[in-house]
Amino acid sequence: MELFRNTNIDFLGKKWYFLGFSLIFSIAGVLSIAFWHHIPLGVDFKGGTLVDVKFANAPDLGKVRHAVDDAGYHDAEIQRLGAATQNELIVRLPQRETSEQSLDRGRSEIIAAMEKYFGGQGDKLDLNNSGPSQIASYLLNKDPLHLGTDATTRYNEIARQITDFRDKNRSGVLSSINELNGAVPQQVVNALNEGAFTSQFAVRSVQIVGPQVGAQLRKQAALATLYSLAGMLVYLAFRFEWIYGVAAVVAVFHDTLITVGAFSLTNKEITLTVIAAILTLIGYSMNDTIVIFDRIRENIKLYRRESLSEIVNRSINQTLSRTVLTSGLTFLTVLSLYLFGGEVLHGFSFALVVGILIGTYSSIAVAAPMLVAYQDWRLAKTGTAAVPGVAGRRTKMRA
């Protein structure tokens, strides 16, 4: 099977469409960054507290809001996480404490408020918010199986089975104790029914970031991105003439800008893992560009009579099949990550989905036309052709 065979598309002829397309997306992103959502930073960069709570049934948002207000956090944001059927919410508290000592006050107060509104059966054991050791000691006290010497080990084992069942089969929240029927002995379920209960929520994760770490991380992320771009420039300068390097870095910068703009437009948070995705894209988008540049250089030697724009067109067409196929396959895996990888990786895979599309487009529509535009400009100015093909260090034929 073959998708592209001897294509002959006049890519350079469409350069004004490309320019328009790129400008629309870049400007939309820049406008959103400047005036609308700005760059929505995740809690790891911004500092603050994030509590991920899962409920047994669809949570009443008003009641959650009430609980959070009650704890004194009127500026807290409450947000649904993932699909509505997941019954999961994120409570986000802005950085408020200036002292590092009371950093985790927000967490304990939010959990206490949840406990009050969605849990609360006095001294009873809350099965949804207890660890195996607490459950084991409860069972040891009750001793429903009338065990002798090995009671401690056996009850620890049962407690572990209960938390495993809760965490792996029920995503952390049991809606009633009777759900444990079959997973653990009947006597244990009965004993739990006597003195334990299942609250309607469980805390799935908590992230607390102090101001110092947030600032440190912002600096590191910025440095990492800069070093990455600089590393690419050095590599390209070594492989090609400088104008190729500049064109490739402009294309990659264009990709980064549009990807970050997409986060701003959709108001998705940029976290550390998103930065990781963007750095990966810088590398990925660069190599599409390199493949086309290699072909251009090779063709400049083969077709000395042709104009640069003809050569660039020919080169893009020759590598089109490869470019579309490899990007398409990577896109397939990234799409699967976006669709099935879960909420935690949502931002990461979103960046990759957007970035791979844009990165592939920019290799064809931004980087290569820039070479032609540069040459036209030089020709108009000095009358000599400026884009060298033979001067590169390697002159071997390339794929």
Partner 1 sequence: MRKKLLPKTLFIIAVLLVFVYGIFLGTDPDKAIAAWKQQGPLGAIQQNIHLGLDLKGGTHLILQVAVNEAVNAETDRVMQSLREDLAKASVTLTDITKPDQQNHPETIAITGVPPDKVGALRNTISDTLPRYDLSSGAGTTYQVVMKPSELTSLKQRAVQQAIDTIRNRVDQLGVSEPVIQEHGLGDYQILVELPGVDDPARVREIMQSTAMLDIRLVIGGPYPDEQSAIQANNGTIPPDAVILSGNTGRSDQAEYYVVSRTAAVAGSDIRDAQPSRDENGRPDVNFHLSNEGGRRFSEFTGAHLHDRLAIVLDNRVREAATINDQIRDNVQITGAFTEQQTQDLSMMLRSGALPASIHYLDEETVGPSLGADSIRQGVLAAIVGMTAVLVFMLIYYRGAGINADLALLLNLIILLGFLGFSHATLTLPGIAGVILTIGMGVDSNVLIFERIREELRAGKAPAAAVEQGFAHAWLTIVDTHVTTIVSAVILFLFGTGPVRGFAVTLTFGLLANLFTAVFVSRVIFDAVLNRKERGEALSI
Q: How far is the CB of 291 from partner 1 (least distance, A)?
A: 6
Site for partner 1, residues 68 to 97, rule: CB under 8 A = none
Site for partner 1, residues 346 to 365, rule: CB under 8 A = 348-349, 352
**Which x/- pattern, by CB under 8 A, does the window 183-212 give for partner 1?**
-------------------xxxxxxxxx-x
Which CA distances in Å does 19 have to 33, 198, 255, 290, 391?
21, 59, 13, 21, 29
Q: How far is the CB of 19 from partner 1 (least distance, A)?
A: 26
Which CA distances in Å does 81 have to 89, 161, 286?
5, 28, 34
Choose one: 151-159, 178-186, 277-285, 309-317; the region binding partner 1 (CB under 8 A): 277-285
Choose one: 59-67, 189-197, 220-228, 304-312; the region binding partner 1 (CB under 8 A): 220-228
398 touching partner 1, by CB under 8 A: yes
Which CA distances in Å does 376 have to 9, 254, 321?
21, 22, 28
273 touching partner 1, by CB under 8 A: yes
In terms of CB distance, is 189 or 275 closer to partner 1?
275
- Out of 176, 220, 267, 307, the residue judged to bind partner 1 by CB under 8 A: 220
- Out of 344, 379, 385, 388, the residue judged to bind partner 1 by CB under 8 A: 344
- State the DSSP code for 281: H
Choose one: 9-17, 232-240, 301-309, 376-384; the region binding partner 1 (CB under 8 A): 232-240
User: Which DSSP string do the residues of 106-126 spell out, in sequence order?
Assistant: HHHHHHHHHHHHH---TTSEE
Is the CB of residue 42 less than 8 Å from the CB of residue 271?
yes
397 touching partner 1, by CB under 8 A: yes
Cite the DSSP H helix spans in the chain. 15-35, 43-46, 61-70, 105-118, 132-142, 151-164, 186-195, 211-239, 242-265, 272-302, 308-340, 346-362, 368-382
1 touching partner 1, by CB under 8 A: yes
Q: How far is the CB of 14 from partner 1 (least distance, A)?
A: 24
Site for partner 1, residues 10 to 49, rule: CB under 8 A = none
> Tokens in use for 189?
């379920």
